[in-house]
């Protein structure tokens, strides 16, 4: 077909003027993004292959990575941080996302009163700075000044109170739940939007077939919002493996007690910038950053190339 088209002189392709405006409109974003994201990323990857030898920066190949995984102390802290990070992620997936979906499902019930108020109230913590969130929760949970002990006392649960942030067994769970509290608004909003997008006809058709209530949620709504859940999962994954801020504000750079809340972000910070009497090590920090980058890249690729392709989408 195409050769016939071009052979016809009457509809020969019109020579279009070069579309400069595309480049012009893209330029600011490309320039800014390159300057503050892409170049530092490349520089970090490069730095992970270099190290200081006798005061000179020299190319050392993969030896930084070899040190990271073979040095007994470094590798122990790395695996500890990775393990904690996984727990951090699993708690988000098990608590934040199901709760977010449940909240969205409840909000989309048409008869619910004050829906806008709930929606706003649940979303507000997401807008707060992590410094404020960290500080508020540290105060709430403080065994000395906090209101948690006295509130629990009111309902006779004083015995169940413990200095959660200071105990190695509970600190990581506590910090994860604080983060869940802060970010639960995001899955809620995305799912809420997806639920509102389901056309009335589909739901009416379901009702005609006698599918109502819970089974309507499981059989009709949930499959339709699966793509949104996929997006939320990947956002959670990237966010959790990049996390640093909340742990830093609540537990400090040492991520105590005894490294029990140390995740990759805090380990990277301490290694790269140093802490108190320990000097920063740029190369090793860059190495950890590279490993973090690869972990996130692997997770995102897995999602994009394996999971997302198999996901069914419905067109209305």
Partner 1 sequence: MTRMLKGLMLATTVLVPAALAGVANAADTALTIESWRNDDLSIWQEKLIPAFEAKNPGIKVTFAPMAPTEYNSAVNAKLEAGTAGDLITCRPFDLSLAMFEKGQLAALNDLDGIKNFSDTAKSAWSTDDGKTTFCVPMASVIHGFIYNKKAFEELKVAVPKTEDEFFALLEKIKTDGNYIPLAMGTKDQWEAATMGYYNIGPNDWKGEEGRKALIAGTQKLTDADWIEPYKTLAKWKPYLGDGFEAQTYPDSQNLFTLGRAAIYPAGSWEIAPFKAQADFEMGAFPPPVKKAGDTCYISDHNDIGIGLNAKGKNPEAAKKFLAWVASPEFATLYANSLPGFFSLNSTAVKMEDPLAQEFVSWRQNCKPTIRPSAAIVGRGKPNLDLEMWRVSANVINGTQTPEQAAEETQKGLESWYKPAK
Binding site for partner 1 (CB under 8 A): 36, 40, 55, 72-73, 141-145, 149, 162-168, 244, 251-254, 256-259, 269, 273-280
Q: Which is nearer to partner 1, 73 or 309 (CB)?
A: 73
% helix / strand / coil in the chain, to the nearest 5?
Answer: 70, 5, 25
Q: Which is nearer to partner 1, 2 or 277 (CB)?
A: 277
Residue with tokens 């012009």: 24
CB 116 within 8 A of CB 124: no
What is the rounded end-to-end Cα distance, in angstroms, of the chain? 32
Residue 27: burial class (beta carbons within 10 Å; 0-12, 13-18, 19+)? exposed
Q: Which is nearer to partner 1, 204 or 258 (CB)?
A: 258
Q: Which is nearer to partner 1, 70 or 120 (CB)?
A: 70
Omega before residue 257 within 30° of 0, cis? yes
Tokens of 223: 């499959």
Q: Which is nearer to partner 1, 136 or 162 (CB)?
A: 162
Q: Which is nearer to partner 1, 73 or 113 (CB)?
A: 73
Q: Rounded distance, CA 152 to CA 283, Å?
A: 48
CB of 256 to partner 1, least distance (A): 6
CB of 13 to partner 1, least distance (A): 46
Q: Which is nearer to partner 1, 15 or 73 (CB)?
A: 73
CA-nearest of 201, 132, 175 to 262 is 175
Computed from CA positions of residues 62, 65, 70, 74, in that sequence, does the dihedral angle turn out positive or negative? positive
CB of 189 to partner 1, least distance (A): 23
H helix and E strand count, the chain: 18, 4
Q: What is the dihedral of CA 204, 209, 215, 218, to 10 degrees?
A: -70
Q: Which is nearer to partner 1, 75 or 197 (CB)?
A: 75
Computed from CA positions of residues 71, 73, 77, 83, in that sequence, does the dihedral angle turn out positive or negative? positive
Q: Which is nearer to partner 1, 123 or 273 (CB)?
A: 273
Residue-wise DSSP of 86-120: HHHHHHIIIIIHHHHHHHHHHHT-TT-TTHHHHHH
Residues 6+ apart with CB under 8 A from 289: 44, 48, 268, 272
CB of 207 to partner 1, least distance (A): 49
CA-nearest of 70, 54, 22 to 62 is 70
CB of 163 to partner 1, least distance (A): 3
**Residues paired with residue 279 on neighbouring β-strands, in sequence order:** 274
């Amino acid at each position: 077909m195409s050769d016939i088209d071009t052979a016809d002189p009457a509809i020969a392709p019109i020579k279009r003027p070069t579309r400069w405006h595309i480049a012009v409109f893209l330029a600011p974003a490309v320039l800014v993004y390159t300057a503050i994201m892409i170049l530092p990323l490349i520089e970090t990857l490069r730095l992970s292959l270099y190290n200081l030898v006798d005061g000179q920066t020299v190319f050392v190949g993969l030896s930084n990575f070899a040190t990271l995984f073979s040095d007994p102390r470094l590798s122990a802290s790395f695996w500890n941080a990775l393990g904690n990070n996984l727990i951090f992620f699993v708690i988000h997936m098990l608590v934040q996302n199901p709760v977010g979906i449940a909240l969205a499902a409840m909000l989309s019930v048409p008869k619910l009163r004050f829906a806008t108020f709930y929606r706003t109230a649940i979303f507000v913590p997401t807008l707060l700075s992590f410094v404020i969130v960290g500080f508020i929760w540290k105060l709430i949970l403080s065994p000395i000044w906090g209101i948690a002990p006295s509130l629990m006392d009111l309902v006779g649960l004083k015995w169940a109170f413990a200095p959660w942030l200071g105990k190695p067994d509970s600190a990581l769970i506590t910090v994860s739940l604080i983060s869940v509290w802060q970010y639960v608004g995001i899955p809620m909003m995305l799912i809420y939007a997806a639920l509102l997008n389901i056309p009335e006809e589909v739901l009416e058709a379901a009702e005609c077939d006698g599918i109502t209530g819970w089974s309507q949620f499981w059989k009709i709504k949930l499959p339709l919002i699966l793509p949104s859940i996929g997006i939320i999962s990947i956002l959670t994954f990237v966010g959790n493996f990049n996390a640093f801020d909340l742990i830093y504000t609540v537990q400090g750079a040492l991520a105590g007690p005894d490294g029990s809340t140390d995740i990759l972000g805090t380990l990277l910070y301490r290694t790269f910038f140093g802490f108190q009497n320990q000097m920063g090590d740029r190369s090793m920090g860059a190495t950890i950053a590279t490993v973090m980058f690869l972990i996130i890249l692997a997770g995102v690729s897995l999602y994009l190339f394996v999971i997302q392709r198999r996901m069914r989408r419905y067109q209305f």
